[in-house]
C-alpha cells in the first residue's frame, strides 16, 4: 500500500463513523447516508492529493455527501426526502437486545427539527466544527448558524425527556 | 442539565452507529472514480450505473397510531391526514397514512390546488409531467417532518407516534397551467427489530388539465 493509500485509510478509519452519523442526522435514513458517505469518501480518495490539504477533510466529505443528496433529489424529482426513523432507531437495540443503532426518542427528536437545524447540530456534534467552518460547509452566514444552533438546542431540550434522576426534586 | 450535557447525551446515543463499509471497498470505488475522470467518453454510462445504485426509495413510518391533530383552523380532517389553509396562503398537508387518496384529492382541489392523488402504480394516465423548470418543485412544495406531542404531554410507548410527514404547498408558486401529482405506496422493510410497514410518497409537477387535476388553472 502506497503512502497516499495509507494516509487515506487512516483518515477513513478515524472519520468514517462521525461522517456517517452527521449525514444520517441530515438525511434521516441510514442506508441512504451510508451510500452517500461511501460515495463521498471514494471521491475524496480519487482527489486525495487535494482533499488531504483541506483544513477539515471530514467536512469536505460531509459536504460532498450532502451535495450528492441534493443532486440525487433533483435527478429523481419524484421522491420526497422523508426520514425513516424505523430503519434507524430500533427499540430492541435500546433494550439491549441488539447493538449498533440509535436511541429512538433522541433520533425522533432530531428528525423533528427542520433540515437546516439538523445539519448544524450534526456538524457541531460529530465533526466538532466551529461556527465559521459550519457556515462554510453549509454555505450560510455564521450568524445564521448560531441562530439555527440555538433554536435546535432549545427544541431538543423540549423534545428529549430528561432522565428521571436529573429531574430536581 | 445544561446545553453541553444535552448535546453530549445526543452524541453519546450515536456511539453504536458505525460505518459498515470496509476501507478496501472505498479504495476500489475511488479508483473507479479516478478512472472515470480519465475516460470522458465512458463517463455518461458509468454515471448512469452509479446513479442506479443510489436510487434508494426513501420512506416514512407507516401503520403507526395517528397522533393528535394540529389545532389550526380552518381545518379539514380525516383519520390519516389533515389539510389546513394557513394565514399566509400556504396549504399544510399533514400525512399520517395516505389512505383515501380520492378524499385528499377533493380537498386539495377545493382549496384551489390542481391535484391528482393516487396510489403508486395507479397514476392518472392523463397527467403529463411538467419538466420546463427543474427547480420549481422545491418552490411549490416544502416537505418536512413534525413531532407532535401526545395530548398528555408525555411520550407514549411508541416513540414515533408523534412523528408525521408535513407537506407545505405554496399555491402562489404554481404557474398557471401546472398542478401537483401525489402517488403513495406501501412496502415492508425488515430490520433487526422486526418488520416495519413503510409508506413512500412521490411528488411530481404535471400539466394541469380537467382530466388530470380537475381544472386547467
* Domains held by chain A: number: 1
Q: What is the pLDDT of residue A1?
A: 60
User: Is B6–A125 a contact, with Cβ atoms under 8 angstroms apart?
Assistant: no
Provide CB contacts within 8 A for B96, sequence distance 6+. Answer: B64, B66, B67, B79, B80, B81, B164, B165
Instruction: Indicate the angle between helix axes A30-46 and A3-27, nearest 10 degrees.
Output: 150
| C-alpha to C-alpha distance for A62 and A55, rounded to whole angstroms | 14
Please state whether the predicted TM-score (pTM) of the whole model is above 0.80.
no
Q: What is the pLDDT of residue B31?
A: 85
Residues of B in contact with A86 (CB under 8 A): 61, 160, 189, 191, 196, 198
Look up the domain containing A73 and give its range: 3-166
For residue A36, the Cα-to-chain-centroid distance in whole angstroms is 11
Q: What is the pLDDT of residue B95?
A: 75
Interface confidence, given as ipTM, is: 0.79
For residue B133, the Cα-to-chain-centroid distance in whole angstroms is 20
Q: Which residues of chain B have pLDDT under 50?
A: 38-79, 150-151, 153-161
Q: What is the pLDDT of residue B205?
A: 85
Q: Where would I find the beta strands (DSSP E) of A24-163?
A: none
Residues of A in contact with B134 (CB under 8 A): 74, 77
Q: What is the pLDDT of residue A85?
A: 47
User: Is B9–A160 a contact, with Cβ atoms under 8 angstroms apart?
Assistant: yes
Residue of B6, B26, B199 to mutate for A, most A C-beta atoms under 10 A: B26
Q: What is the pLDDT of residue A164?
A: 56
Residues of B in contact with A153 (CB under 8 A): 3, 6-7
- The tens place of each residue's pLDDT in chain A, 169 residues long, gives 678 889 999 999 999 999 999 998 888 778 888 988 999 999 899 889 888 888 889 998 998 888 776 655 544 544 444 444 444 444 443 333 223 467 778 888 888 888 889 999 999 999 999 999 898 888 889 999 999 999 999 999 988 876 655 555 4
Amino acid at each position: 500500500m502506497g503512502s497516499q493509500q495509507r494516509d487515506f485509510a487512516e483518515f477513513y478509519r478515524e472519520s468514517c463513523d462521525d461522517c456517517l452519523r452527521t449525514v444520517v442526522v441530515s438525511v434521516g435514513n441510514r442506508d441512504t447516508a451510508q451510500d452517500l458517505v461511501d460515495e463521498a469518501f471514494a471521491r475524496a480518495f480519487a482527489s486525495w492529493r487535494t482533499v488531504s490539504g483541506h483544513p477539515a477533510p471530514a467536512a469536505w466529505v460531509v459536504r460532498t455527501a450532502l451535495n450528492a443528496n441534493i443532486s440525487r433529489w433533483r435527478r429523481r424529482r419524484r421522491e420526497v426526502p422523508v426520514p425513516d426513523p424505523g430503519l434507524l432507531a430500533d427499540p430492541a437495540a435500546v433494550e439491549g437486545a441488539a447493538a449498533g443503532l440509535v436511541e429512538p426518542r433522541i433520533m425522533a427528536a432530531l428528525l423533528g427539527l427542520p433540515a437546516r437545524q439538523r445539519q448544524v447540530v450534526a456538524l457541531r456534534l460529530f465533526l466538532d466544527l466551529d461556527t465559521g467552518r459550519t457556515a462554510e460547509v453549509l454555505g450560510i452566514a455564521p450568524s445564521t448558524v448560531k441562530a439555527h444552533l440555538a433554536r435546535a438546542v432549545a427544541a431538543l431540550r423540549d423534545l428529549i425527556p430528561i432522565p428521571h434522576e436529573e429531574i430536581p426534586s | 442539565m445544561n446545553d453541553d450535557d444535552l448535546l453530549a447525551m445526543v452524541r453519546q446515543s450515536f456511539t453504536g452507529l458505525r460505518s459498515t463499509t470496509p476501507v478496501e471497498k472505498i479504495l476500489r470505488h475511488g479508483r473507479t472514480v479516478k478512472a472515470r475522470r480519465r475516460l470522458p467518453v465512458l463517463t455518461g454510462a458509468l454515471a448512469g450505473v452509479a446513479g442506479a445504485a443510489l436510487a434508494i426509495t426513501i420512506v416514512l413510518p407507516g401503520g403507526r397510531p395517528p397522533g393528535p391533530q394540529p389545532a389550526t383552523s380552518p381545518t379539514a380532517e380525516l383519520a390519516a391526514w389533515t389539510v389546513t389553509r394557513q394565514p399566509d396562503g400556504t396549504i399544510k398537508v399533514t400525512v399520517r397514512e395516505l389512505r383515501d387518496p380520492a378524499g385528499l384529492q377533493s380537498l386539495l382541489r377545493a382549496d384551489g390546488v390542481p391535484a391528482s392523488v393516487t396510489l403508486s402504480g395507479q397514476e392518472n394516465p392523463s397527467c403529463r409531467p411538467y419538466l420546463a423548470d427543474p427547480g420549481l418543485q422545491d418552490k411549490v412544495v416544502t416537505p418536512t417532518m413534525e413531532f407532535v406531542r401526545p395530548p398528555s404531554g408525555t411520550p407514549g410507548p411508541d416513540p414515533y407516534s408523534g412523528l408525521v410527514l408535513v407537506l407545505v404547498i405554496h399555491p402562489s408558486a404554481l404557474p398557471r397551467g401546472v398542478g401537483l401529482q401525489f402517488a403513495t405506496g406501501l412496502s415492508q422493510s425488515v430490520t433487526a427489530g422486526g418488520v416495519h410497514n413503510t409508506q413512500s410518497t412521490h411528488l411530481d409537477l404535471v400539466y394541469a388539465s380537467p382530466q388530470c387535476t380537475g381544472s386547467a388553472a
